Every structure is written in structure tokens, then in C-alpha cells.
Structure 1
Amino acid sequence: MLKFVQKHKKDVPLLFTLKIHTFMKANLSSQIKLDRTPKRYYRPANAFERTALTRFEKIQTEIYESTEEGSSQIAKEVSDLIRNRKKEGRFCVMALGSGPGTHSVYKELVRLHRDEKLSFSNVIVFNISEFYPLDEAAPGTTRILQETLLNQVDIDPTNVFTPRGTTEKEGVFEFCKEYEKSIENYGGLDLALLEIGPLGNLGFNEPGSQANSSTRLMLIGSESRHNASGMFSSTESVPGSAITMGISTILGAKKLILMAWGENKAAIVKGAIEGNVTDALPASYLQLHKDAKVVLDLSAAENLTRISTPWLVTSCEWNDKLIRRAIVWLCKITGKPILKLTNKDYNDNGLSELLALYGSAYNVNIKIFNDLQHTITGWPGGKPNADDTFRPERAKPYPKKVIVFSPHPDDDVISMGGTLKRLVDQHHDVHVAYETSGNIAVGDEDMMRYVMLMQSIAKEFQFETPEAMAKLEEISEFVKQKKDGDIDLKLIRYLKGQIRQGEARTACNYIGVKPENVHFLQLPFYETGTIKKGELSEADRDIVKNLLLEVKPDQIFVAGDLADPHGTHRVCLDAVLAAIDDVKNDKWMKNCRVWMYRGAWAEWEIDHIEMAVPISPEELRQKRNSILKHQSQMENAPFLGDDERLFWQRSEDRNRATANLYTQLGLASYEAIEAFVEYHPQ
């Protein structure tokens, strides 16, 4: 249809043409993993292939290309169960989790209710867990379930049961017993639906939970409290315990569906599905259930054997990246650099296919060694007047117009500060575009330093007007009265945003980026005032697109973090990719290259790295200084987490680890390396 419209554009009404023009691909980031994962690995054609591929998996596992596809399939299964129970004249009794991974499923269930008349009139819901103690007005898992599902469907409120965070301490034990009895009174759970937690926890069943545990009061670990901090004003405000269904209660459901999205869950997923049953990883208890299933997107599945090391379970579709992955894996297994690997090493570790393809270990070794060597460059914008045959970037044009897209006002320097400085020093025309204000990541304490400063200098600088002083007083009073879950005043969000803009300008000035080349895009999806963000829209895409059309860059750098499918970095990536998709046929865009970088927590796996930029000790120090310009993101930032390292320390550790890996493989030894992967618009 689209091809027909483009071919006969003159004959198409203007209104229809505009609809075609504004159609937006909103989830292009989900396609990135597909470039290296043949579909037969994650969607085998028949039972025989599936049996071979999943030989290490101890739980039924379904892998989908995207979170949306996986969520849609889960929602269909849930809706079928509800409808079947209704035909039988029975209640459908479900235990529901409230973690962010479940929200996309609930969104689809709401759509099915609205568009396909799915009724919840016969549904009984038991909330899996709730914080304790909890004030009536405080945020909690019950409120999340209401907002994401229950308030948008036709469920009878009297059919919704939840642990009461307001229960008196003396009555908690009795309440837990009654909660179990309520489940029994409805004939037990037909379905338990929840996501795998960051530590492999089920609900608030933390590591150490026993298989025979029932509904009880449970202390919450620091990691779980940190992950819940988005609902509260800080990690310290998160209640220290929760009432949660026990492992035995969850396993008592007739059917279990556990989900995980994003590569930050990949390591936990592998342990739960392919490891041993252990109380250190509560999700592994699903191996004991006769009708349990784990649903994943490709990112969450990337550590499973059939995705990560498919040569151990099947014959492979070998390409350059998979060969590189296999050889790097073999180096780690044997403890040898690339050029010391032998035929025996290949044969002993399931890689004899490569010997058959290349004739000898030496031939494979040389190929991969040269391949990795060619990723290394000190000229991220391309070296002028040089042979660029084996270089990651083109020599021409020089200098290049470059845009670095940064999700928050510090991701640029945290993730690629050394490369950014190189690009400036090598005389490219570098623009930095900050996609969001980052205002929610400024703590009240940091903001109040500026408020008190303005109050103290107002008279001297002659802005001691009644209006100005009233606004500063309004801010001070709001902060004093602020409770968990309160949304900051618009004035406060503005001030916090200006704090981050000032820090970003200072860092850019330190690096040498021209002031007129610093852009603050303020994408609308972010500006909700809460941790929960809006949906990516055409307005977000068009803001990015307008900048692209204004600059018409030769090079684009974009944050390629895929860890959280619902996180700000992922949405920002999708905004840029959607804008690129809209202009990909423009002449200038055909000569533009798009490079993806990673954040402070993880680096690209070495088999994907296509450009590795060495950072000297002096450049690493300069990068640290540029990160330190973001003072509000040091010790007091709300989202530092439980990792005691500051952002500059995490970044340096990551960059040094990448350099050490290159050294271990037998390549040159550098102080640090920043790594990039090229994105190819389809």
C-alpha cells in the first residue's frame, strides 16, 4: 500500500498523504537484537528443533522479538483463561504482581476489554504483595494495580483482595493467615502472573525465601527498596518490609506465568531457567511447577545458551559477529589470547564447525584478530587524508557535522566523554542534544542550595521583588510539607531543570563544545513530573527530526541502552530512531552514520563492538572532570542506587574493563576504551 502511494503520489488526496507521512515506528530499538539472532534459535519451527535448542532449559520458555509481542501473547493467554472460566460458570482467580514488567501486559488486557469486550466480571484478583507499614494515602502496589488495570476494567471492587499495609503490627500474623484462607475459599489460584525481580525474587520473596513459605511479613532488601524508590521520594522513604504471598502460595497456582524484559534481567533469567533450584534465586523454584512458563523478549533471553552460545546446542548460521563471539568465548574458556588458540581448543569446546569452514585454527584466529584490530581508532570522526579501508569511520567529509544525543543532561560525558573531547579537538562541528530535562533526578536538598543562595543575594543583585521572594518562599514551604508520592510544583520542576541545564552547559564548555551547539530538546514524554513517563509520541519524534533537518549531520551518536524496555534511555533511543526513519531517504542522511554508545552500567559485548576509541590517562582525567561538573548528580542524586561508586567511578571502571579485555585477547594495551556499535536504518 505504502509503495503504491509513493509511486502515485500526485493522485493521492492531501489528507491521506499526511497520514502516511506522520505514521511513526515507535519501537525500532527492539529490532537491534534481531540483526544477530536467527529466528530459528528463539522460535524453533518444530518440536524436534525445540528439544535440541532448549536442552539446558529447565522451565518452558517462550522468547519473542519485543516486549510488546510477548506482552500481547501473555494477555491473550490470560483473556482465554478468563473467558473459559466464564463459560464454565466459574470465577477466574488470579494472583497479580505490580512490577513495571507487568504493565505492558495490563495495557493489552485493558485494550482487550475496551475493543474486544473482554469482561472481568468473573475475575477475582489477589495482589501478590504490598509494602508494610503503609499510610492510607501513601503510594503502593495496590495503587499501581488500580492505575494500570483494575480501574480501567469492569471488575467488581469487592473481588479485589490486597495485603493491607495499614494492618496493626499485632494483627499482621493473623491477617496473613486470613489472606491464605481467602485464596482457599475461592478454590485456590488459577493463575499467578508476575515478573522476575532484579534479584530473581518473586513478589517480595527475597533471596533466602523457602519453598514452603506462605503469606507473611518479609524484610525488603536494599536492592528491592532501591527499585521501589521511584514510587517514593527516596530510597530511605521506602518501607522496610512488605506483606507478600509466600513461595508455596505462588507455586500453588494451577498455572504460573513469569515474565522478564530487557537485558538487565538476562543474567538472572539464565540462572533461574538453566541453573539449579536454589533459595538464593527464588525464581528458580518455578522448575518445581508442572505448568510454569517464562516469557521473555530477546534482550532478556540473551544469556540463554541457545541465544548466547548456540554452537553448544545446534549447528550455527555462522557470520562474522557470531564467529567473533565464539572466539572471544573460547579465549575466556581457555584463558588464552586469540593467536594462541589451537585446533584442539576448538574441537574440545564444540567449535569444530569453524575448523571445517576455515581449515585450521590459525586461519580463524588471524581473521578475528584482524577484525578486532580494525575496530580500534583514535579518530572517531574519521582520519583525514588517510586510507579508511579498514577504519570504522570514513575519512571524508572532514570536518564532519556531529550530533551527540544524550537522554539526560550528563549521559554524554558519562558514556562517551573521551570520544566527545576527541571529536572537538579534531575540529569537527559537534552538537550536543539533551533529550530530557532530567529534573526529577535533582534532589530537593540540592535544589534548596540554589533557593537559599537566591534568597541571600536577592537584595544585592536587585531582584528582591515581592513576586520573586514569594516564589522562593512557595518552593521552601512545599519542600517542608512534601510527602511521598507528591508531584513537584511546576515551578520546582522548572528550577531543577535549569540546574541540570547549567551543569550541562558547564561540562560542554569544559570540553570545548560551542555554546550555540548545545540543545535542550525537552521531549514531552518526560515532562510528567513523576517517575512514570508518558508514551512516545509524534511530538517527541518531530522535535528530534527538526534538529536533524537543521544540522544535517554526517555522524550521529545515540545512547543504545536496551536494559529497561520502559526506561527513559530506551524511549529516547526510540525517539531518535523514529526521527531517523522519517528522514532516512533524504540525500544527506544516506551519507550519515549512526553510532550507539552505552551508559555507566554496562558496555557493548565485544563481539558487537565496531568502533573502539582508546582513552589515555590524561583524557580519562579530563572525562572525570567533565562528569564532576554535574554536581547535582554526585552523592545526593536520587537514582544512584546501592552501588557505592559515583558515576565517574562506574564509567572509568567500565572503560578500563573494556581495555583490559582487548589486552587479554592479545591486542594493544590501553588505559581505557569507549566502545560503539553502528546502527543501520532499515
Structure 2
Amino acid sequence: MRTNLSSQISLNRVSPRYYKVESAVERSVLTRLEKIQTNIFETMEEGTRQIADEIIAKIQDRQREGKFCTIAIGTGASLRPLFSELVRRHKEDGISFRNVIIFNLYEYYPLTEGAGSSFNHLNKLLLSQIDIDKQNVFTMDGSIPQDAIIDHCRLYEQRIQTYGGIDIAVMGIGREGNIGMNEPGSQVNSTTRLILINATSRAESARNIGVDNLPPCSITMGINTILGARKVYVIAWGEDKADIIKSAVEDKVSDTLPASYLQLHTNATVCIDLAAAAHLTRIQRPWLVTNCEWNDKLIRSAIAWLCSILNKPILKLTNKDYNENGLSELLALYGSAYNVNIKVFNDLQHTITGWPGGKPNADDTYRPERAKPFPKRVIVFSPHPDDDVISMGGTIRRLVQQGHEVHIAYETSGNIAVGDEEVVRFMHFINGFNQLFEEGGDKVICEKYAEIKNFLLNKKEGDIDTRDILTIKGLIRRGEARTACTYNKIPLNRCHFLDLPFYETGRIEKNPISEADVEIVQNLLREVKPHQIYVAGDLADPHGTHRVCTDAVFAAIDEEKNANAEWLNDCRIWMYRGAWAEWEIENIEMAVPLSPEELRAKRNSILKHQSQMESAPFLGNDERLFWQRSEDRNRGTASLYDHLGLACYEAMEAFVEYKPI
């Protein structure tokens, strides 16, 4: 069973010549805007093997010399595949780490019993599974008194120097460009010190080590300490790191982006996959650095970019515009700006449809969806009980109004995203209801009410909710989802709560996807036999739940494909994006326009999920509420089409087709 198919999604075919450079001259041309050596790999697995090879080679060189190899290492999510590979090499190939000295990059402070520890995470994933001598492992002490921290940090620096400095530093990169725990504002001369962690880094770190809370501070190696390493690796995988990688590699050195200091290092390497490299100039805008291998998507991307920098619609671009902005190749290919303009304009025009399920009795040659069969059976898979309306609430209403049989499948309970105050509010209602309509009240309910009330009163940060409380929180979200479905005229018998088991840990950290999760999805597919499937495509969502849910759907489809299921022959799969991002213009294959009234109705659908408004625990570092993000994103898509010279709509929801791999 293939449960990682989302990682194999390739929206754009990137020519290998942009990242597998064969000569030094060609590399210097392609990477002339990059200020740190950047190695791009087709897959995370390929990159991980390469980095492991280089680290092991250095360790073995030191072994032959009879010396220690000193490694500073962090615990970010991007390093987990490397840890697994190093452990595999030790167990299967006999690679020894006896001569390795480990210095932990950072530790959280103050550490109390039960708090998340960076070192404990490192020990669990790597150190306890290799033959490293425990005496060769050093970390900061997150439990020392505050007045002893300065001396503790000074001694940590001295110990590094005692071993001759750091041979290799290996780290990830945070969403705000932090390396180690050096937050924006860190200075180039900073050494090991105590630092306050901002909310974004704290939330990201909590997810990385699988805890619900972290101490507010960290003792971290400083920028100067990291730059003192003889070799530095920065590792990043996935599209959620694409923006920060571009900034760190191509922008100017700035204390607002600590990773940019690595531009000052003579032997630093950024190791990324194609997804994380997506916004580097040589990948996203290759015409600015070399001649291109043009395809339809790259042409569309280039013209949209040209329109944006010139503030012109497509049909007003001239030969001069192309020549002066590095796109003369397109003139040679198509003969004139007019020919390119018409091609791209028509291409984008054909993505717009007010009939997301296909228009019956219409010529569908240039429509994104086929006319037949009509009506269609549709399943919208929603990772959480509100992603359906946040991401495609307008399209759902269109599908219902146009007569299609729409099913909504809520993949997880979403219970950990309900605040305790919501539970208290509902418990107050239940208690009051019983007192009013039951003489003396129901004894069982009264006892349960007292038990839950007592737990919440004594609940400490980081405590896991009881199963009863998690069940109540799940019921709250179910009720909101049912209300939204009723508002959108979807019968409740087409409202499916899958409650995939991987999610039910009560913590931010979830279990890996299993066959049980896939089987639940597969059973629904077999029952409905849909003609259309909508699935979450915003794989950079900060919790990671969307990716797992999408993998469960793709795995179920893959199993059905292997079983030669007939229904799959007449089914199209569309990916939507939600509150976190939008599809790039070159990738959009279906754009559903929304009127002001339809956008207002979509907002009302989202507002039915009252527990996810101001009190929602997982709004991220974006201060806008989910309905505001959704409207801004939909209006932004419509505005982009408008500025390119196409029809002007109030808002648009965009989709990309997934073809089973």
C-alpha cells in the first residue's frame, strides 16, 4: 500500500538541466543570483542519502586520522529523514559513530517535568540507536537556575573549542529564517545564549517534537558559533519552505533573516528538494538566468509575471515588452507577441467555468469538466470539519444548486482544535436543560458534568484531555458541520464522519497513517462510486493533518486502481487549497467564479463553525480569521484574472486536477 503519494505530486515538469548541472560554467550561469551553494534533489530520499554519504565520509576520514569528528546538530522536522538514514547505515552497513562528538544546537528553557526537550528528541531519534559514546554527547542544561545561564553558555563555548571547534553543523531552517533558535534580530557576533522564542517558532518547534507546549525560551548556539563550523548543512524539504529558502539564498544578508548570515560562510550548503526549491529564480523564473525549455505552464507563468511587473493585461503586451524582459525566446518560437498573448489568454479563459460539475448538453471541448454523466456523484473530502466550506464553499453550493449528488466526508474529528471554554458552554447548557426538564436532573449526567468541570478547573498547560472531553469536543465540531451542510442544502445522510484513527491521539503529534485509515476511505469510495472527488491540496498546512488526510485518499484511490474498480474510469479528482495558500496561476485548471451574494453565503457557511472563530487554537501566525483569509484569497484569485485582462468577478475558487500516479 502506497501511503506517501502526495510527496510525488509534480505540478510542473522542471527540466533537470536547471538543477542537475553538468559543468561549472553552466552552474555559475544558473546560480548567479544564489549567494549560498544550493544543491537541489529530485526527492527528499535522494538528498538524504547524499548528505549521509558526505557526513559518514568525514567521520571515517577522522577515524583514519585517529581523531574525533565534531558535529553540531538540531532536531527540526527536516532532519528526521537524515536521522533515519544514519541509523539505517549503522544497523545495516556497520557504520560506527564511536569517534563522533555531538553538540546539541539548542535546548528549551526552563525545562520542567513533562516539558518538551530538544535533547530528548535527538536522543530518541538518533543517539540511542547508534554506537556513540554517551560521554561524547553534550547539550545545554535547560533546568539550571537563571542566574547561572551566562556561565553555563560560556563553558559550552569553551567545550566546543576544547575539541577543536565544530567540523560539521547540520540544521533545518525555520519559517522565519531562524537557524538553531536564533530568532530574527540575532547578531552575526552572537554566541551561545538564552533567547526568547517567538510564537511562530514556538508553535513550529512544538509540532516538530510532538508536544502541545514548549517553554518560552531556548539556550541556543549563536550565529558566530554556527559560522565557526568548518562545514554547514541547511536542510529543507517541501513546498512550505520554498519562500524562506529563496529569501535566505537570494536576498541580502540581514538580521531579520538569520539564515542569510550563511552567505558569509565559505563552506555552507543548502540541501533541498524540488518542492522547497520552487521559488528559486532558476526554477520559478529560469528565463532570467538562462535559455529555457518552454512548455505551456512555463509560458503561462512567464506571461503572468510579465503582466505583473509591467502592470499590463495579457493582450496589451508588445514585442518590446518581451525583448526587454528576457522573453525574446518566445517571440522566436511563436513569431510575435500577439500570437503568444492569444495562446495564453485563451488558455486561461478556458479554466473559468460556472459549472464545476460540467454543463449538461454543452460542448465540453474547452471546458475543464466534462458534460456527462449528469448529474454526478461527488465526494468532497474535508481534513477537518470546516475545510470543505473554507476551501470550496462556493463551489459546493454551485454543485448542489446544479443538481449533483454531493457528499461531504469529514476525515478527522477535529477535536483538539476546540477550546475548553466551548466544552464548558455546552456542559452548562446540558446541565441547565436537565435541571429544567428533568426533576432533580439526571444523576449520570450530573456526575459526568461535575467530573469534567473538575478536570478542566485543574487542567495544566500540556495536559491531555480525557477521552470524554475529546468526545464532547468532537461532537461540537460534528454539530457545526451538520449545521453548515444543512445551510448548503446537503442532506445529512450525505454527511459522513470518518474519524480516521491516525488523528485520535489527543495531541498535536498524530500517529502515522495506517491501513485502517485507508480502508475507511476506500469503503466510502466503493459505496458512493463518485464521478468527482475533491481533496485537500494545501500540503503546506502547518499542522500536517491535510497531507496525511490527502495521502489516505490517494492511497485508497491507488488501491481501487490496482483492483481495476470500474467507477474510477469515469472519475476526476480535483485538488483545492484552503486557508493557507492558493494555487499558482500557471497551475490552475479550473476556476469557479463567485458573485458577491455567493461569497457572502460562503462566509455564512464558515461562520457556522463557531468554535473555530476567535477562540480557535490553531490560527497560526496569521491574525485573520479563517473566513477572512478565505475571502481575501478568493478575491485575490479573481483580481489576478482581472489584471491579466480576463473577466472581472467578485471572487474565484481554484482547482488543480490530480491524475492517479
Specify the TM-score bucket, using the shorter chain as the normaliser.
over 0.9
Give 2:426's aligned amino acid: Y
Tell me which residue corresponds to 1:284: 260
Give 2:224's aligned amino acid: S
- Mapped pair 1:352 → 2:331: no
Between 311-320 and 381-390, report the one with greater CA deviation. Answer: 311-320
In the alignment, the residues of structure 2 paired with residue 494 and residue 107 of structure 1 have an alpha-carbon distance, to the nearest angstrom, of: 35
In the alignment, the residues of structure 2 paired with residue 156 and residue 520 of structure 1 have an alpha-carbon distance, to the nearest angstrom, of: 50
> Alpha-carbon deviation of 1:105?
2.1
Tell me which residue corresponds to 2:249: 273
Tell me which residue corresponds to 1:16: none
SS at match of 2:229: coil
Tell me which residue corresponds to 2:280: 304
Change (3 A) 1:445 1:119: farther
Between 501-510 and 84-93, report the one with greater CA deviation. Answer: 84-93
Contact map agreement 2:533 2:571 (CA 8 A) in 1:
yes
Between 615-624 and 494-503, report the one with greater CA deviation. Answer: 494-503
SS at match of 1:61: strand
Tell me which residue corresponds to 2:355: 379
Change (3 A) 1:436 1:112: farther
> Deviations for 1:37-68, whole angstroms, at most 9, x for unmatched residues?
22332223444433332222121112223334
In the alignment, the residues of structure 2 paired with residue 74 and residue 665 of structure 1 have an alpha-carbon distance, to the nearest angstrom, of: 43
> Deviations for 1:203-234, whole angstroms, at most 9, x for unmatched residues?
22111211111011222233223434548999
In the alignment, the residues of structure 2 paired with residue 87 and residue 231 of structure 1 have an alpha-carbon distance, to the nearest angstrom, of: 36
- Mapped pair 1:140 → 2:126: no
In the alignment, the residues of structure 2 paired with residue 117 and residue 523 of structure 1 have an alpha-carbon distance, to the nearest angstrom, of: 39
Percent identical pairs in the alignment equals 63
> Alpha-carbon deviation of 1:103?
2.1
SS at match of 1:176: helix
> Deviations for 1:480-526, whole angstroms, at most 9, x for unmatched residues?
33334333222222222222112111111111111111111222222
Change (3 A) 1:161 1:136: farther
Change (3 A) 1:80 1:568: farther
> Alpha-carbon deviation of 1:466?
4.8
Where does 1:141-290 land on structure 2 (aligned, <5 Å)? Answer: 141-228=118-205, 230=207, 238-290=214-266
In the alignment, the residues of structure 1 paired with residue 139 and residue 374 of structure 2 have an alpha-carbon distance, to the nearest angstrom, of: 63
Give 2:654's aligned amino acid: A
In the alignment, the residues of structure 2 paired with residue 203 and residue 51 of structure 1 have an alpha-carbon distance, to the nearest angstrom, of: 29
> Alpha-carbon deviation of 1:262?
2.2
SS at match of 2:538: coil
For 1:654, which of 633, 636, 657 is the aligned residue? 633
Tell me which residue corresponds to 2:30: 53
Change (3 A) 1:285 1:233: closer
Contact map agreement 2:115 2:215 (CA 8 A) in 1:
no
- Mapped pair 1:449 → 2:428: no
Tell me which residue corresponds to 1:615: 594
Between 220-229 and 420-429, report the one with greater CA deviation. Answer: 220-229
Between 310-319 and 468-477, report the one with greater CA deviation. Answer: 468-477
SS at match of 2:10: helix
Tell me which residue corresponds to 2:458: 481
Between 586-595 and 81-90, report the one with greater CA deviation. Answer: 81-90
- Mapped pair 1:30 → 2:17: no
RMSD: 2.2
In the alignment, the residues of structure 2 paired with residue 583 and residue 122 of structure 1 have an alpha-carbon distance, to the nearest angstrom, of: 50
SS at match of 2:70: strand
In the alignment, the residues of structure 2 paired with residue 455 and residue 116 of structure 1 have an alpha-carbon distance, to the nearest angstrom, of: 63
Where does 1:425-574 land on structure 2 (aligned, <5 Å)? Answer: 425-460=401-436, 462=438, 466-563=443-540, 567-574=544-551
> Deviations for 1:611-670, whole angstroms, at most 9, x for unmatched residues?
000111111111111111111111111111232210000100000011111111111111
Contact map agreement 2:11 2:587 (CA 8 A) in 1:
no
Change (3 A) 1:209 1:340: same
SS at match of 2:478: helix
In the alignment, the residues of structure 2 paired with residue 378 and residue 352 of structure 1 have an alpha-carbon distance, to the nearest angstrom, of: 36
For 1:671, which of 647, 650, 654 is the aligned residue? 650
Tell me which residue corresponds to 1:10: none
In the alignment, the residues of structure 1 paired with residue 434 and residue 483 of structure 2 have an alpha-carbon distance, to the nearest angstrom, of: 23
Change (3 A) 1:67 1:88: same
SS at match of 1:392: coil
Give unmatched runs, 5+ long, in structure 1.
Answer: 1-23
SS at match of 1:33: coil
Between 501-510 and 480-489, report the one with greater CA deviation. Answer: 480-489
> Deviations for 1:393-432, whole angstroms, at most 9, x for unmatched residues?
1111110000111111111100000001111111100011
Give 1:342's aligned amino acid: T
In the alignment, the residues of structure 2 paired with residue 80 and residue 464 of structure 1 have an alpha-carbon distance, to the nearest angstrom, of: 72
In the alignment, the residues of structure 2 paired with residue 181 and residue 127 of structure 1 have an alpha-carbon distance, to the nearest angstrom, of: 14
In the alignment, the residues of structure 1 paired with residue 53 and residue 11 of structure 2 have an alpha-carbon distance, to the nearest angstrom, of: 24
SS at match of 1:494: helix
Between 492-501 and 384-393, report the one with greater CA deviation. Answer: 492-501
Give 1:631's aligned amino acid: Q
Change (3 A) 1:510 1:379: same
Where does 1:397-416 land on structure 2 (aligned, <5 Å)? Answer: 397-416=373-392
In the alignment, the residues of structure 2 paired with residue 392 and residue 636 of structure 1 have an alpha-carbon distance, to the nearest angstrom, of: 39
In the alignment, the residues of structure 1 paired with residue 655 and residue 614 of structure 2 have an alpha-carbon distance, to the nearest angstrom, of: 29
Contact map agreement 1:196 1:202 (CA 8 A) in 2:
yes
SS at match of 2:9: helix
Give 1:496's aligned amino acid: K
In the alignment, the residues of structure 1 paired with residue 88 and residue 449 of structure 2 have an alpha-carbon distance, to the nearest angstrom, of: 44
- Mapped pair 1:642 → 2:621: yes
Give unmatched runs, 5+ long, in structure 2.
Answer: none
TM-score where L is the length of structure 1:
0.92
TM-score where L is the length of structure 2:
0.95
Contact map agreement 1:163 1:179 (CA 8 A) in 2:
yes
> Alpha-carbon deviation of 1:264?
2.3
